[in-house]
Amino acid sequence: MTWRDVFSLAYRTIGSNKLRTGLTVSIIAFGIMALIGIITAIKAMNQKFSESFSTMGANAFTIRFRERNIRFGGGGGNDVTVSKKGQREKKSNMGKRITRDEAVMFAQTYKYPAQVSISIFGSRNSIASYGSKKTTPNVMVYGGDENYVQLNGFRLSSGRNMSRQDVSSGQNICILGYDVAKKLFGGDAAETAAVGKVIRINNLPYRVLGVLESRGTSFGFSRDNMIITSYQNIERNFPAGNSYVIAVMTGQITQVPTAMGEAEGTFRAIRKMNPSEANNFALDRSDSIAEKAMNSLGFLTISATVIGLITLIGAAIGLMNIMLVSVSERTKEVGLIKAIGGKSSVVRRQFLMEAIVISLLGAVFGIFLGIVIGNLFSIVLQTGFVVPWNWVFYGIILCSIVGLLAGLYPALKAGKLNPIDALRYE
């Protein structure tokens, strides 16, 4: 018998035991579905992280008073770092907040050819109103300078940006996020209708200079529900004592390491730090933030792999038992094949083929369901359609190995049957 004949016979045998085959395929499909589904969801999250955190571009970095720690899952206790003196200091209490004077001094004394922007967070629960229309108390207010919009990846859909005079005067001017403008002014022309109007932020009058283009949502939260004013205005109207953030953008990505070194030396001098002291501030490359977030998802990939492997081991045991039962039920059939000249190798191939086909059917259904379920998560995150092709390949290989191992012992057992004893089997 050729391989084609063996496959045809194995396929017909599988089709004649639909319930038993269906249960086995379902077990295998569940394991692969869990594995592929979680991997697909992780790839969608990685894609969203790249979009969300790398808005400034790969040629930019920030200076802040402590590192941004992005974690998923466990990890009790605070992170600890070792200073140059050998002293242990907690990152959660790293350094003192960056003041306005320090940020302004850095912008004035930093000599490297790059754009510098300073900013501060004002409030996360402000209310904006215009006439009878009012937002919910969850509008975020940021303070920046004339370079803040460009260095943070924003674009104006209408109106103008803040000028240096607007910033230095600290007058009540603002730039609205798309959602705020749409809520207060409504309609398709909300962006243009808002420019020049006087709105109220927490009952304080602000004149609208411009409206930002929509940036969509990130992990279920709108990135357009915000208002930008000057950092001088934040100091006067939202004195929360938050730390300033300094953003630096170079002309080319190759200039970033040099620019970061220059920035570190300049800011250490501004903070009056001794040469032996460890930095009490952090420098973050904009493209490394997404990388940190994606690396922290690694445990999910490990968990998905473990879940999938455990399920596949259970499926392999079940498949082996089913194939052993099949050998017992078809003992006379095996005896007949051998009696008419069939070789033991043909019998072994038939049972191995059956096990592999059942495993591959489980793989196909599991991969399909896993991709569908994983992309339901990508729809929630509003990312593109994701297919983890490498894990699709791994899933097929895993299921082939499972089928081969599960069918090996039953196939050997069937091949060793004596044709005379098999024909007499009751």
Residue 160 has pLDDT above 70, yes or no: yes
Q: Who's near 318: CB < 8 A, 6+ residues apart?
A: 23, 24, 27
Other CB atoms within a 10 A radius of the CB of residue 269 amount to: 12
The structure's pTM equals 0.58
Region of poorest pLDDT, from 81-95, 229-243, 291-305: 81-95
Region of poorest pLDDT, from 13-22, 126-135, 255-264, 335-344: 335-344
Query: What 3-state class would DSSP assign to 119?
Result: strand
Asked if residues 209 and 166 have their Cβ atoms less than 8 Å apart, the reply is yes
Element housing 221 (H / E): strand 221-222
The string of pLDDT tens digits covering residues 375-425 is 887 787 777 788 888 888 888 888 888 888 887 877 777 777 666 665 555
In whole angstroms, give the CA distance from residue 228 to residue 243: 16
Other CB atoms within a 10 A radius of the CB of residue 115 amount to: 14
H-type alpha helices, 115-189? 148-151, 164-169, 178-185
Q: Who's near 390: CB < 8 A, 6+ residues apart?
A: none
The string of pLDDT tens digits covering residues 210-262 is 999 988 765 556 778 999 999 999 999 998 889 999 999 988 878 888 999 99
